[in-house]
Amino acid sequence: MPKALLLENIHPFAAESLRNHGFEVDTQPGALDEDDLIEALDDVDILGIRSKTNVTKRVLDARPGLTAIGCFCIGTNQVDVNYAGTQGIAVFNAPYSNTRSVVELVISDIISLMRRIPAHSNRMRDGVWDKSASGSHEVRGKTLGIIGYGNIGAQLSVLAEALGMRVVFYDIDEKLALGNAHRAGSLEELLLQSDAVTLHVDGRKSNTGFFGEDQFSHMKQGSIFINISRGFVADLDALKRHLESGHLAGAAIDVFPKEPRKSGDAFDTSLNKEDNVILTPHIGGSTLEAQESIGHFVSQRLLDYWEKGSTTLSVNVPELTLGTVSGITRIAHLHKNLPGVLAQVNRILGEENINVNAQSLATEGELGYVVTDVSSMPSADAFKALQDLYGRIRMRTLQ
C-alpha cells in the first residue's frame, strides 16, 4: 500500500481523497525540522506540506524513494524544486486556489486603514471616545498601486476598480492590464502617485529586501503600505521609521521575516506598538473555502501523477496532461534532456515487437519526460534495458 505524509494541518479532504485511492495516510498538525522530516519520510511515497516545512537537498538525498511533493499553498520556495526535479520527484502547488481569499483580505485592510479603524479601536479599548473624521478617507477615487500583477494582483485590480479606485500596477514582466488598470513605467512612478501600495511578488531569492528605505521614501505622503506576499521582501524597520515620522498613515502586514513554526508559539515584531497598523499571522489564504479548494486541487494533481503520470501544473518537471490508464501499460520515463532518448525507448520496444498505442514527450530545461502507452507488457529484459537507458532519472510503470 502506498504511503502519504501530510503536515501542517492540510485540509482533511486531501487525506480522505488519498485514502479513497488506496493510500495509507499519516497526518501531523505542525511542521517538521530537517532531521524529524527525514525520519518521518521512511517508506513515504507522497509528501504534503504548507509553507513552514523545508524540503532541502539533504532531505531529498536521504529519501530517494519519494515520488511527489504537494505544496498545499501558493509558494514553493520552501522546497528545493530544481534539485527535486533532477531526482525525479515532481512538485505541485496551488497557484490559484486561495487567490480570492488573499484579495479580500487586502481589500479589507485598505478600507480599515483608510478609515483608521485600528487606531480608533485601540483608543476605544483605552477608554477614549474620539469621534473624529480627521485622517479618515473613502477609498473611492483613491489610487491603488499594485506591485506584482500576477493572479492575485490582477484579481485585486478588478475588485478595487469595482470600489471606485484608480489602479496602477508595476511588474517586471509584460502583463495584460484588466479593466482600466494602468501600467506604471517604473516602480518610482507607481510609488509617487499611490494612496495605497500593496506587494504581490513571488518568493525568488532576488526579491529579498526588495522594498526598503529608498522605496518607502518615494511613497506618497499619508499613503498606506500592505504586504501579504513574502516576509523577507519588506524592511519592517524602515517601515516603522516612516510610520513614526508621519510620512505613512498606516500599514497592514500579514507576512514576516521570521515566523513561528506553529500556532500558539510566541511572536514579536517591532511594529506591535504602532498605532494605525494591522498585524495578522500569515492568514492571507487562511479561509475555510480556500483551504478546502487547495485540498481538492493539490491532492488531485498528486493523484493524477501517481495514477496517470500526468504532470499538469507541476512546477519542476515538464508538463504532460495524460488520460486514464485503462487496458494498457504506461511507461513514464523522466530523463535528462539529451538527444536520442526517445529513439532508444522506441528501439527497445521495437526489438520486443511491442506496439506503441500512444506516446507523448515534453522537455523543459535540463529535463525530459516521455510517456509511452503499450498494448502488451514488456519482458523483464526490456524493462531492464529501459531502466539502464543513458540519462534516465526515474522510470515508473502504470497499469
Reduce the DSSP state of residue 172 to 3 states and report it. coil
Query: In Å, what is the CA distance from 131 to each residue of 116, 139, 152?
Result: 11, 19, 35
Which among 309, 325, 299 has a CA at the least distance from the CA of 394? 309
Reduce the DSSP state of residue 277 to 3 states and report it. strand
What is the C-alpha to C-alpha distance for residues 106 and 77, in angstroms, rounded to an integer? 22
Which among 33, 22, 31 has a CA at the least distance from the CA of 56? 33
Angle between helices 99-114 and 151-162 (to 10 degrees): 50
138 is an active site residue: no
* 90 burial via Cβ count (<10 Å: 0-12, 13-18, 19+): buried
Name the strand (E) or helix (H) holding 297: helix 288-308
100 is an active site residue: no
DSSP line for 68-102: EEEESSS--TTB-HHHHHHTT-EEE--SSTTHHHH
What is the C-alpha to C-alpha distance for residues 399 and 331, in angstroms, rounded to an integer? 9
Q: List the catalytic residue out of 230, 242, 301, 333.
A: 230
Reduce the DSSP state of residue 253 to 3 states and report it. strand
DSSP line for 55-72: B-HHHHHH-TT--EEEES
The Cβ-side half-sphere exposure at 232, using a 13 Å CA radius, reads 9
Q: List the catalytic residue out of 137, 282, 296, 392.
A: 282
State the residue for C-alpha cell 532519472: 393
What is the C-alpha to C-alpha distance for residues 154 and 148, in angstroms, rounded to an integer? 9
140 is an active site residue: no
Q: Where are the beta strands (DSSP E) in the chain?
A: 3-6, 24-27, 46-49, 68-71, 90-92, 143-147, 166-170, 182-183, 196-199, 223-227, 248-253, 277-279, 329-336, 356-364, 367-374, 392-398
**Using alpha carbons only, how large is the chain's radius of gyration in Å?**
25
Q: List the catalytic residue out of 259, 292, 352, 364.
A: 259
Supply the residues annotated as catalytic. 230, 259, 282
